[in-house]
Amino acid sequence: MNSPNGKIAEIPLPEAEQKGLAASPGGFKIFNRIVDLITNDRMQLINVTERINEIVRKSGVRDGIVHLQSLHTTTAVFINEWQDALLHDVRSFLDDLVNREEYYRHNDPAHSDCERKNADSHLRGMVMGQTLCLQVRNSVVLLGTWQSIILAEFDGPRSRSMSIQVSGI
Amino acid sequence: MNSPNGKIAEIPLPEAEQKGLAASPGGFKIFNRIVDLITNDRMQLINVTERINEIVRKSGVRDGIVHLQSLHTTTAVFINEWQDALLHDVRSFLDDLVNREEYYRHNDPAHSDCERKNADSHLRGMVMGQTLCLQVRNSVVLLGTWQSIILAEFDGPRSRSMSIQVSGI
Amino acid sequence: MNSPNGKIAEIPLPEAEQKGLAASPGGFKIFNRIVDLITNDRMQLINVTERINEIVRKSGVRDGIVHLQSLHTTTAVFINEWQDALLHDVRSFLDDLVNREEYYRHNDPAHSDCERKNADSHLRGMVMGQTLCLQVRNSVVLLGTWQSIILAEFDGPRSRSMSIQVSGI
């Protein structure tokens, strides 16, 4: 959770265990997992890098692709440096990019039956994107020194799911 | 087309049929299709979810990846909820994000031979992105309950093409 | 480099040669390369299309996917038309989207040990994204007539690396 001073604590991510492995006779394989999370704030950034690396290790894929997809329109997945000061700037920037206080039809009972008043969350999720594709090299997600994988909650607190697919040889 | 009250009618998508299947001896296969569309408005949002699912079903791929690419810089492909009120907000937001009335060199005959005056369309396409990669699970595109695949026209009316590649086992 | 009139000269890209090929018995193969670049300006746009096509040709992959990832948070990879006037508009737009002069905690020694004062570069890289996935068809990257692959430097001059993975059959 985001404490007032911008710290983000690790959140336990109970993984929905699945039989996730499909393989072709030729050695190409696909490994699927769902990661479930509970978020604590309306806007929250969560570092999922280690979690993704655990899944890649379990997959048995040495070289290939890992595809991440958050299954919710009011979330996003992207890359940035994981530094408290910068994460504070990221939240401020996204707050400014989409002004929550403006008029939106999605928040207006005359036009919409959505009671969450979350048009801003939808627009943030749309701009940042809910999918991310990364290379797997030597059984590890390829990332630069300062790159972390960040899941963004834009309409929490909620229960959320990400689908992870590792494919390759 | 977008009617004045924000409704978006289904557009017939005549598909350019192609021999699209390539397969390796080991069971990994790739299936390619081009989807052609005619758009009706300068900015228009089109729900292509069902169309993509049809192609995935035809591909014979059970587990893998579907990659979508719009072949035009002044378009985009992304995910959001398909709700009339929200689609109206999306168009307003993208209109505000890139102000069409500002000065752009791309629209200035002194600097550019482009006669479409579509710098704003290029910038919207660039921010939103022209590619999207999604998981295929059990012969269906994996999407959350509220996630639809949206093709955005930013410089219509035009004839447009998307290339769809389904790969996996 | 960007000359005052907006021209962008080709930059020599010494490639870090690697043994990059992994193959499964079934014909599916993966080819990896690192492309190294030296950038010359704080914000700079570089057309890497031809470079990516060279790597795809070398890979021996006829049909599949090419995945590009810049290994730095203060860069991005995306698609747009490669036209001088438009590239000038792209730089102006990104300058306006994230105002460098605003207060950012990441630039404040009271909150951050980063001495580059590059919060704006991080935010631009985050919005535009550091990865791009494109289709390979007949040993060529699939791109529309006006689509070029652009690497954006947001905190140069620097030495930068992109990882390219070509996979398929």
8 Å CB contact of C81 and B104: no
List phi, psi (to 5°) of C127. -70, -40
Contact C63 B32 (CB under 8 A): yes
pLDDT at residue C100 above 50? yes
Q: What is the pLDDT of residue B23?
A: 76
Do residues C161 and A116 make contact, with C-beta atoms less than 8 angstroms apart?
no
Q: What is d(CA B32, CA B164) in angstroms, rounded to the nearest whole number? A: 6
Tell me the pLDDT of chain B averaged across its residues: 90
Cα–Cα distances in Å, from A94 out to C8, C50, C97, C115?
Answer: 31, 35, 11, 23
Chain B residues with beta carbon closer than 8 angstroms to that of C27: 24-26, 28
Q: How far apart are CA A42 and CA B26, in angstroms?
A: 47
Cα-based distances in Å from A145 to A57, C4, C72: 19, 33, 8
Residue B4 confidence (pLDDT): 35
Select from B32, B67, B72 the Cβ nearest to the Cβ of C133.
B67
- Interface-testing mutation among C28, C77, C82, with chain B (most B C-beta atoms within 10 A): C28
pLDDT (0 to 100) of residue B6? 34
- Say yes or no to pLDDT of A10 above 50: no
Chain C partners within 8 Å of A64 (Cβ): 30, 167
Q: What is the pLDDT of residue A3?
A: 37
Encoded tokens for B103: 């000065």
CA distance A153 to chain C (A): 16
Q: Between chains, do B24 and C26 touch, taking CB under 8 Å as contact? A: yes
Q: What is the pLDDT of residue A23?
A: 76
Rounded CA separation A125/A38 (Å): 18
Mean pLDDT of B15-26: 61
Show Cβ contacts of residue B3 under 8 Å, excluding neighbours closer than 6 positions: B9
State the Cα–Cα distance between residues B114 and C82, nearest whole angstrom.
Answer: 12
- pLDDT of B22 above 90: no
Mean pLDDT of C24-40: 91
Q: What residues does C67 pair with on adjacent strands? A: C133, C165
Which residue numbers of B have CB closer than 8 Å to C's CBs? 22-28, 30, 32, 65, 67, 69-73, 98, 104-106, 108, 111-112, 114, 119, 122-123, 125-127, 129-131, 133, 161, 163, 165, 167
pLDDT per position as a tens digit, B129-144: 999 999 999 999 999 9
Report whether pLDDT(C142) > 80.
yes
Token representation of residue A23: 């393989």
Pairing of the two strands C21-23 and C44-47: unpaired
CA C44, CA C42: separation in Å to the nearest integer?
A: 6
- pLDDT band at residue C139 using 50, 70 and 90 as cut-offs: very high
- Predicted confidence at residue C133, as pLDDT, reads 98
Residue-level pLDDT at A25: 67
**Confidence label for C8 from pLDDT (cuts 50, 70 and 90):** very low
Q: Give the count of Cβ contacts less than 8 A between chain A and B.
A: 113
- Chain-chain contact of B67 with C25 (C-beta, under 8 angstroms): no
CB contact under 8 A, C67 and A169: no
pLDDT for B18 equals 44
Strand partners, C76: C152
Which residue of A5, A62, A81 is the best one to mutate when testing the C interface, meaning the one whose CB has the most C CBs within 10 A? A81
Is B75:B154 a contact under the CB 8 Å cutoff?
Answer: yes
Structure token pair of residue C75: 């860069």
Using the beta-carbon criterion (under 8 Å), do A71 and B143 form an inter-chain contact?
Answer: yes
Q: What is the dihedral of CA B135, B168, A65, C34, to 10 degrees?
A: -130
Q: What is the ipTM of this complex?
A: 0.88
CB C73 within 8 A of CB A89: no
Cα separation, A110 vs A155, in Å, equals: 22
Distances (CA, A) of C79 to A128, B74, B93, B126, C49: 16, 10, 21, 6, 10
Helix residue spans in chain B (DSSP H): 49-59, 84-97, 119-128
- In angstroms, the CA B16 to CA B38 distance is 13
Find chains touching chain B: ≥3 CB pairs under 8 Å: A, C
